[in-house]
Amino acid sequence: MINILVIFGASGDLTSRKLIPALFQLFIKKELPEPFFVVGVSRTPMTDQEWRTKLRSTTIEFNATKFDNSSWNQFKKHIYYFPGNIQSLTMFKSLKQFLKDLEKNATQKRTEEEQEESKFNSSRKGTNCVYYLSIAPKLYADTITHLGNAGMTEESTLLNQPIELRKIIIEKPFGTSLSTARELNQRTHQVFREDQVYRIDHYLGKETVNNIFALRFANTIFEPIWNRNYIDHIQITANEAQTVGHRGAFYETAGVLRDMFQNHLLQLLTITTMEPPNRFDAQSVRDEKVKVLRSIRSMTPEYIYNNTIRGQYSHYRDEKGVDPHSNIATFAAIKLYIDNWRWNNVPIYLRSGKGMSCQTTQIVIQYKEPPHSIFRSNRHPDSKIQLEANRLLIQIQPSEGIKLGFMSKVPGTEMELRNSNLTFSFHDHYSEELPEAYQRLLLDAFSGDASLFARNDEVEAAWEIIDPIQHNWDKTASSEAIHSYPVGFWGPDASEKWMQNQGKQWFNLCPVINSSGKQSPLH
């Protein structure tokens, strides 16, 4: 079968920064399905050669340490460019012909090669074609309709074997609200079956996010203590040091809730709190994730007022493309509850912001404090030694690992106790660099595994959680409601005070496990 990735939005940032470098690395590792072609589609007039030259320099720029010239010279032969306007149906018809010709030539070449080696295998006929929408989200629905009208989405089988496979990868954001997501799902389903649709959330391709599945479901020791009986609360933080920079105009239409919570943070939440699926396959995993989303306690305006904090970094209104009176939140902290047996009344805190003190994405499982301390200090026999609660920290990025904090005795004659750590760092255990999220996701889409992609009901359930908060914030937007914070810290003071008022404290350390393998203490 010939494998073709058609990228709509070929001249965009995502293509040069993420997609082509990811494909190139897969090519070097010989992990791409063979034969493989990339066809880039966008309006800019360019020849194949011009696009290849451009991609060469951007791949060096974004992947310098891993660039290898002789591999690139092989890889570039698989790259083609098709200039065209995706708003024109005629363009899709010509693209369809172009893809057919590409397939015909590749099949012919392959057949000749195989005949020469006397291993001709006619069952490998056909095309596995994946369309990648890396275009402005407002063009998603029409592009999908054009693909349908041009007859580019039909699949076929021969002797019960698929010979024509057609899939579509849709980048985030998938809608900007529940109603727009529903509409986009409907338009998509007019053309594609749900199992042909791969909604990308690149957090799901991150190695450490996948390791949460392993931690929870490949070990027996964590499961018995992964519930309300032992866990006091959970903190999920995705902080970025970067400010919005040149993305001001986009950010004004999104804000932190749509940009980070509806997708990435809720994905981390579902994987951390879902019930064990009976199998690691797309349906079982996604069924469990949807159940969690549907169990999140609904939020009234009063609840939102008391349980959410919004902030904006101090110079956000001066960024290019930003309204000088903007009340868009660049920081948010939200407390929510999952109303089921496992998580009854366990507060779950989600937090994300731009312009923070460092980049760190981490999940903190804060265990309950020991119910009673038996230890007394030799020197002060009347005072009991205060015991600290255990804490399991899963660091997703920038350096990846897991750290478990527990009390241990400090050597000496005194009964002195201290928090110590058991640490697992990916960098200590594996010499290879962790693969970029897009590598895994692209391969999964080609092989037809949708476990790490969002399903239609999952996306809608996530919007059902975010929509009421967003509506409430829009209605009550004012400079008083949104707390200003200086760049380079952990968000507004109000967020720290809000936690303190609940008898809790944010886990503010970055990074906890650093990439040199050295570890900072777990406080």
One-letter amino acid identity for 332? A
Angle at CA 118, nearest 5°, toward 117 and 123? 110
Look up residue 297 and give its two tokens.
Answer: 């306690």
Q: Please report how the helices 20-28 and 48-63 are oriented relative to each other, as an axis angle in degrees rounded to 10.
A: 80
Q: How far is the CB of 259 from ligand BG6 (least distance, A)?
A: 5
**Is 264 annotated in the active site?**
yes
The answer to whether 259 contacts ligand BG6 (rule: CB under 6 A) is yes
165 or 328, CB closer to ligand BG6?
328
Q: How far is the CB of 173 from ligand BG6 (least distance, A)?
A: 8
152 or 256, CB closer to ligand BG6?
256
Cβ(8)–Cβ(135) below 8 Å = yes
Q: How far is the CB of 189 from ligand BG6 (least distance, A)?
A: 24
Residue list 462-521, contact with ligand BG6 (CB under 6 A): none
With CB under 6 A as the rule, give the number of residues binding ligand BG6. 5
| Bridge partners, 422 (sequence order) | 404
20 or 338, CB closer to ligand BG6?
20
DSSP string, 247-293: GHHHHHHHHHIIIIIIIIIHHHHHHHHPPPPSSSSHHHHHHHHHHHH
- For residue 398, cis peptide bond before it (omega within 30 degrees of 0): yes
The answer to whether 240 contacts ligand BG6 (rule: CB under 6 A) is yes
The answer to whether 436 contacts ligand BG6 (rule: CB under 6 A) is no
Residue list 107-136, contact with ligand BG6 (CB under 6 A): none
Cβ(92)–Cβ(150) below 8 Å = yes
Max Cα-Cα span within the chain: 89
Residue list 166-225, contact with ligand BG6 (CB under 6 A): 172, 202
Q: How far is the CB of 361 from ligand BG6 (least distance, A)?
A: 6
d(CA 345, CA 366) in angstroms, rounded, equals: 14
- Give the residue closest to ligand BG6 by C-beta: 259
d(CA 109, CA 129) in angstroms, rounded, equals: 18
Q: How far is the CB of 342 from ligand BG6 (least distance, A)?
A: 27
Site string for ligand BG6, 329-368 (x = CB under 6 A): --------------------------------x-------
Pairing of strands 391-397, 401-409: antiparallel
The residues near 148 (Cβ < 8 Å, ≥ 6 apart) are: 190, 191, 192
Cβ(51)–Cβ(12) below 8 Å = no
253 or 386, CB closer to ligand BG6?
253
Residue 394 backbone dihedrals phi, psi, to 5 degrees: -110, 110
308 or 361, CB closer to ligand BG6?
361
202 or 403, CB closer to ligand BG6?
202
| Candidates 78, 264, 325, 380; catalytic one | 264
**Could you give the residue numbers annotated as active site?**
264
Interface positions with ligand BG6 (CB under 6 A): 172, 202, 240, 259, 361
